[in-house]
Amino acid sequence: MASLAAASPAAHAPEGTRALRQQHMLSLGARCALPVAALLGVGFLAPLVAILAYAFATPRSFDVFTSFTLENFAGLFDPANTVWVSFVWSCGFALLTVAILAVIAYPIAYGLNAVFGRWSGLISVFFVFPLFVSENVRLYGWVLFLIKNGVLDGSLKWLGFSGGPEVLYTPGITLFGMVYTYLPFMLFPMTLGLALVPRDLVDAARDLGAGRLFIWREIELPLAMPGIMIGMLLTFVLAIGATAEAKILGGQSIIVISHDIEIAFTYSQNWPLGSAMSVVVTLFIGALTLFALSKLDLDRMLGRR
């Protein structure tokens, strides 16, 4: 600083210092972002750091930052521990939810883009509308619909049938609940993906004699794939953390991993174990997300190419 000032002509000193200061200072954008960055740091990172620290604390203690042990992780990976059952249920049901939703949502997304015409907006609203109502309320609504002597069973009996199917409090209804809850999260990215398929390309292929299946396989599907992948990823990440469906509709006929984490933080009061479970699940989902995102071209997805 001093040598630079000495080397510069005295008259130019203020400009030179200002230029140097500007070089060392953050850009205006970065400075404007500082409050948000600080808020994110406190509100987003701090709890994650706390969870991470708790994961290495002595089991069933509150000695966070003052103790270090791998005991919680060792306990989780102990073959005698049945927590893997919950993890398998969560992963399996999340995968099944994604697969079922891909099959269900694709035709609807296609319809919203190419078939429903001016009704598309209204139909979209029908799929968005349930999101305005709390998930738990909607699931309790399904319980009232499906419960013995409830809306379905009662109506069928009134009509002279023997009654509704006994589906409540089973793993199957848990899966149904997940498919129902996460449909919009698959549908809308998929619709966006399909919207990016240029109609001209499809028309050109048809003019050149390509069949429907060929156009779908070679043009529509690859071009819509970023949207489909985003939908699948979003649905999988949400579904693996789902608890309410297994609790309310499934009557805890299966215990999912997020419920296990909840038990560790409540009845067990074993925050370190709950944190270790959270860390393992977060790492698993994080790795999977990063892998999937590395395979996606977001620029193309957002139409910037």
**Least distance from another protein to the Cβ atom of residue 97, Å:** 16
DSSP output for 70-124: SHHHHHHH-TT-THHHHHHHHHHHHHHHHHHHHHHHHHHHHIIIIISGGGHHHHH
**Least distance from another protein to the Cβ atom of residue 170, Å:** 10
Site stretch for another protein (CB under 8 A), options 7-15, 82-90, 125-133, 230-238: 82-90
**Least distance from another protein to the Cβ atom of residue 146, Å:** 10
171 lies in the site for another protein, by CB under 8 A: yes
Site stretch for another protein (CB under 8 A), options 146-154, 185-193, 202-210, 290-298: 146-154
Taking CB under 8 A as the criterion, the residue among 89, 110, 176, 188 binding another protein is: 89
254 lies in the site for another protein, by CB under 8 A: yes
18 lies in the site for another protein, by CB under 8 A: no
95 lies in the site for another protein, by CB under 8 A: no
263 lies in the site for another protein, by CB under 8 A: yes
Question: Rounded to whole angstroms, how far apart are CA atoms 61 and 55?
Answer: 11
User: Using CA atoms in the order 34, 38, 41, 43, what is the torsion angle rounded to 10 degrees?
Assistant: -130
134 lies in the site for another protein, by CB under 8 A: no
DSSP output for 123-187: HHHHHHGGGGS-HHHHHHHHHHHHSTTSHHHHHHHHTTSS-----TTSHHHHHHHHHHHHHHHHH
Compare residues 164 and 227 and give the one whose CB is closer to another protein.
Answer: 164
**Least distance from another protein to the Cβ atom of residue 68, Å:** 19
Containing H/E element for 189?
helix 171-195
168 lies in the site for another protein, by CB under 8 A: yes
Burial class (CB in 10 A: 0-12, 13-18, 19+), 130: middle
Closest CA to 194 of 93, 107, 88, 69: 107
Chain mean position to CA 28: 33
Site stretch for another protein (CB under 8 A), options 42-50, 98-106, 114-122, 265-273: 265-273
**Least distance from another protein to the Cβ atom of residue 210, Å:** 47
Taking CB under 8 A as the criterion, the residue among 8, 17, 67, 253 binding another protein is: 253
Mark residues 25-54: x for contact with another protein by CB under 8 A, - for none.
Answer: -------x--x-------------------
Direct distance between the N- and C-terminal alpha carbons of the chain, in angstroms, rounded to an integer: 46
Q: Interface with another protein by CB under 8 A: which residues?
A: 32, 35, 60, 62, 81-83, 85-86, 89, 143, 147-150, 168-169, 171, 247-248, 251-255, 260, 263, 266-270
